[in-house]
């Protein structure tokens, strides 16, 4: 990713540098060559339609190139591959909290293995922050009340800066951390040695039972609510005729304000859990809902191995 961005950047530098040099040279040359001298008079010129068109159309094409190339990279930056390892992130004034799928939690540091796509699912507890790792050329604002997503693939082991790039109050400049990239084996060792919480989906499953979700959402779909198995990542038809893809934000919204999007064929009876559960618990629930989707038969084979949504039975490779 960094390479792509740099290539585009250098391309822009070249073209724009060239333009700068061209125009400034012209200005300087004209200024010297046509400087005021005795007996020399300015030569009046009205303008030239041909020239005007030339210097509108050529830049326009250059601009389209910039746009298209930039758009392609942006698209990649915004669409995490399906097989990413998923890290849940909660930002708050002024720290970063990360939670690995295996349950490891860390603050202001994020350990990741090399050559793995890492998808960071982020939300904020207070104001807007921004997840910025200059070395990976990625940045994404972190908003309260919803999820935003960034992803990267680190290739070289090392420690990289993590900055908060959206102004968020007094210690905005202190809201920094490290992204520690390790060889996979070392990463395993780190995971094993680190603080051990239950894996996220397991925590989520516990909450699911404890909060009474399971009374309505039974796996076989016989409850008052729809079965949540197989929901995530698929299209859901809504009562008002629209259909949406169930992503992290959809699940989150379904829990926080269930009345907003009603699944077709169901009554809007689900109570809101707003204010009753924390962002961390919400993350766990989302991870759980995901995990039971990806285990469904009929899913692409590769999804079994999807690291971010494994249950505890699966081992990290």
| Nearest alpha carbon to residue 165 among 186, 138, 190, 183 | 138
CB atoms within 10 A of CB 56: 9
Smallest gap from Cβ 150 to ligand HEC, in A, equals: 23
Residue 129 touching ligand CUA (CB under 6 A): yes
Residue 191 touching ligand HEA (CB under 6 A): no
Smallest gap from Cβ 167 to ligand HEA, in A, equals: 7
Closest CB to ligand HEA belongs to which residue? 59
Give kind and range of the element (H or E) at residue 113.
strand 109-113
Residue 129 touching ligand HEC (CB under 6 A): no
- 274's contact among other proteins, ligand HEA, ligand HEC, none, with CB below 5 to 8 A by partner kind, is other proteins
Q: Binder to ligand HEC among 95, 236, 256, 316 (CB under 6 A)?
A: 236
Residue 295 touching other proteins (CB under 8 A): no
In the sheet with 109-113, reading across from the earlier edge strand, the strands are: 109-113, 177-182, 158-164, 129-133, 138-142
- The alpha carbons of the chain give a radius of gyration, in whole angstroms, of 26
Q: Within positions 214 to 243, which residues make up the interface with other proteins, using CB under 8 A?
A: 240, 242
Q: Within positions 80 to 109, which residues make up the interface with other proteins, using CB under 8 A?
A: 93
Coil/strand/helix, residue 23: helix
Give kind and range of the element (H or E) at residue 32.
helix 2-33
Q: Binder to other proteins among 14, 30, 219, 305 (CB under 8 A)?
A: 30
Say how far apart CA 258 and CA 268 lie, in whole Å. Answer: 7
Residue 90 touching ligand HEC (CB under 6 A): no
Residue 15 touching ligand HEA (CB under 6 A): yes
Residue 180 touching ligand HEC (CB under 6 A): no
Coil/strand/helix, residue 75: helix
Task: Measure the CA angle with vertex 262, ends 258 and 265; round to 5°.
Answer: 135
Query: By the criterion CB under 6 A, which residues form the site for ligand HEC?
Result: 211-213, 215-217, 224-226, 228, 231, 236, 246, 251, 254-255, 258, 262-263, 266-271, 273, 285, 289
């Amino acid at each position: 990713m960094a390479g792509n961005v740099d290539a585009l950047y250098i391309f822009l530098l070249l073209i724009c540098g060239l333009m700068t040099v061209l125009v400034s040279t012209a200005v300087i040359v004209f200024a010297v060559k046509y400087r005021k001298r005795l007996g020399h008079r300015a030569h009046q010129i009205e303008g030239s339609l041909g020239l005007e068109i030339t210097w509108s159309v050529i830049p326009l094409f250059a601009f389209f190139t910039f746009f298209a190339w930039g758009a392609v990279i942006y698209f990649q930056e915004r669409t995490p591959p399906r097989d990413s390892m998923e890290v849940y992130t909660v930002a708050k004034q002024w720290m970063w909290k990360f939670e690995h799928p295996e349950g490891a939690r860390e603050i202001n540091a994020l350990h990741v293995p090399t050559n793995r796509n890492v998808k960071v699912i982020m939300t904020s507890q207070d104001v807007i922050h921004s997840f910025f790792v200059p070395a990976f050329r990625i940045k994404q604002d972190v908003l309260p009340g919803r999820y935003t997503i960034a992803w990267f693939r680190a290739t070289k082991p090392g420690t990289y800066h993590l900055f908060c790039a959206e102004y968020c109050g007094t210690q905005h400049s202190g809201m920094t951390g490290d992204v520690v990239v390790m060889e996979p084996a070392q990463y395993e060792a780190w995971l094993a040695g680190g603080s051990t919480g239950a894996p996220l989906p397991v925590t989520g499953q516990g909450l699911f039972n404890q909060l009474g979700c399971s009374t309505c959402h039974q796996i076989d779909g016989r409850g008052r609510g729809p079965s949540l198995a197989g929901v995530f990542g698929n299209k859901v038809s809504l009562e008002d005729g629209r259909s949406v893809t169930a992503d992290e934000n959809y699940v989150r919204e379904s829990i926080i304000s269930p009345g907003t999007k009603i699944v077709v064929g169901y009554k809007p009876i689900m109570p809101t859990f707003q204010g009753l559960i924390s962002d961390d618990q919400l993350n766990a629930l989302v991870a759980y809902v995901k995990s039971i989707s990806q285990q469904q038969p009929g899913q692409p084979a590769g999804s079994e191995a999807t690291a971010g949504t494994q249950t505890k039975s699966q081992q990290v490779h």
